[in-house]
Amino acid sequence: MVSATARAEVILCAGAIGSPQLLELSGLGQAARLQGLGIAVAQDLPGVGENLQDHLQIRTVFKVHNTPTLNTQAHSLWGKAKIAMEYALRRSGPMSMAPSQLGAFTRSDPSQPYPNLEYHVQPLSLDAFGEPLHTFDAITASVCNLNPSSRGTVHITSPDFQATPAIAPHYLSTEEDRRIAAASLRTTRRILAQPALAKYQPEEVKPGAQYQSDAELAQLAGDIATTIFHPVGTTKMGCVGGAHDDPMAVVDTRLAVRGVAGLRVVDAGVMPRITSGNTNAPTLMIAEKAAQWITEDAQPQ
């Protein structure tokens, strides 16, 4: 066992999954839950591990014609060798590309006050991450609801620090999220049906053009969707004390854990609501602000 001490502050930056896990293992969390696991309660914080939010990407697949995609370009050893040689000689080609080659923001319906859908499009397709590429030319148009109303949880199930926490994202658990999922699939279909793409003769493979009702599309959205790896919210920032006290806030507006001296959480878990886009840059900004506050609070008064 290794013990470490801090003269000023401990800064917890284990992410929206790891930070609530470490807080609960340390006795900071929902009192009844911790007591049930035999963990002594250091501070009753009911918001720890709650409020989990993520961007769920619905991965639609369209077969295309009259253009090669990575599915067929990388299907053979010779194709893979050509891709490698192009990168080695010219620093171009598929090996030089970002994971997604096209991104776009739009509204699921005109009533939305601002774009609430984000697209990531790739010139490839597969059944699931880790599976081989399809043998036919196709693209994947992934679309996600940027402002989900569904909320999940992250909680430990054992006092053993090596045991993984239970992650329950509860995707598509609200009627609003299911409605937007169905609308996003229809939006994708409208985009692929535009005249500019007619020469590629796109054919819907997933979820399948035969599915048309809201109920069918919402169900299938869950079947073909995956995380986009944007978990946030499980150590929520909020007002602590006063007339506007938020009992579910884990950290205050300077990221200090409520009721605990010398401890801050600085990661995406402090976001009260998920951002309307990728979470990396906002997390960097959170860290910059935290650095400023830590420096200010360390100054002699």
Beta bridge partners of 141: 60, 121
Q: Give the per-residue pLDDT at 98.
A: 86
* Catalytically annotated residues: 230
Residue percentage of the chain with pLDDT more than 70 = 100
Reported as a pLDDT band with limits 50, 70 and 90, residue 68 is: very high
Please state, in angstroms and rounded to a whole number, the distance separating the CA atoms of residues 139 and 69: 7
Please state, in angstroms and rounded to a whole number, the distance separating the CA atoms of residues 235 and 209: 41
Q: Give the per-residue pLDDT at 8.
A: 87
Q: What is the pLDDT of residues 167-212, one digit of tens each?
A: 999 999 999 999 999 999 999 999 999 999 999 999 999 999 999 9
Q: What is the pLDDT of residues 254-270, one digit of tens each?
A: 999 999 999 999 999 99
- Reduced to 3 states (helix: H, G, I; strand: E, B; else coil), residue 190 is helix
Q: Which tokens sit at 168?
A: 């329950």
Tell me: pLDDT of 108 over 70. Answer: yes
Q: What is the pLDDT of residues 114-135, one digit of tens each?
A: 999 999 999 999 998 889 999 9
Residue percentage of the chain with pLDDT more than 90 = 91
Q: Give the per-residue pLDDT at 4.
A: 85
Tell me: pLDDT of 228 over 70. Answer: yes
Q: Give the per-residue pLDDT at 40.
A: 97
Cis amide bond preceding 300, omega within 30: no
Q: Give the per-residue pLDDT at 301.
A: 63
Please state, in angstroms and rounded to a whole number, the distance separating the CA atoms of residues 155 and 50: 8
Burial of 261 (0-12, 13-18, 19+ CB in 10 A): exposed
**Amino acid present at 127:** D
Q: How far is CA 163 from the centre of its chain?
A: 22
Q: Give the per-residue pLDDT at 298.
A: 84
Closest CA to 221 of 206, 239, 232: 206
Question: HEC string of 69-99?
Answer: CHHHHCCCHHHHHHHHHHHHHHCCCHHHCCC
Tell me: pLDDT of 14 over 80. Answer: yes
Average predicted confidence (pLDDT) for the chain: 95
Please state, in angstroms and rounded to a whole number, the distance separating the CA atoms of residues 180 and 260: 40
Tell me: pLDDT of 147 over 90. Answer: yes
Q: Which helix (H) or strand (E) holds 168?
A: strand 166-168
Reported as a pLDDT band with limits 50, 70 and 90, residue 144 is: very high
Please state, in angstroms and rounded to a whole number, the distance separating the CA atoms of residues 15 and 164: 14
Q: Give the per-residue pLDDT at 5.
A: 87
Reported as a pLDDT band with limits 50, 70 and 90, residue 36 is: very high
Q: Which tokens sit at 43?
A: 């501070």
Q: Half-sphere exposure of 209 toward its Cβ, with a 13 Å CA cutoff?
A: 10
Residue with tokens 């003269």: 7
Q: Which helix (H) or strand (E) holds 288?
A: helix 280-298
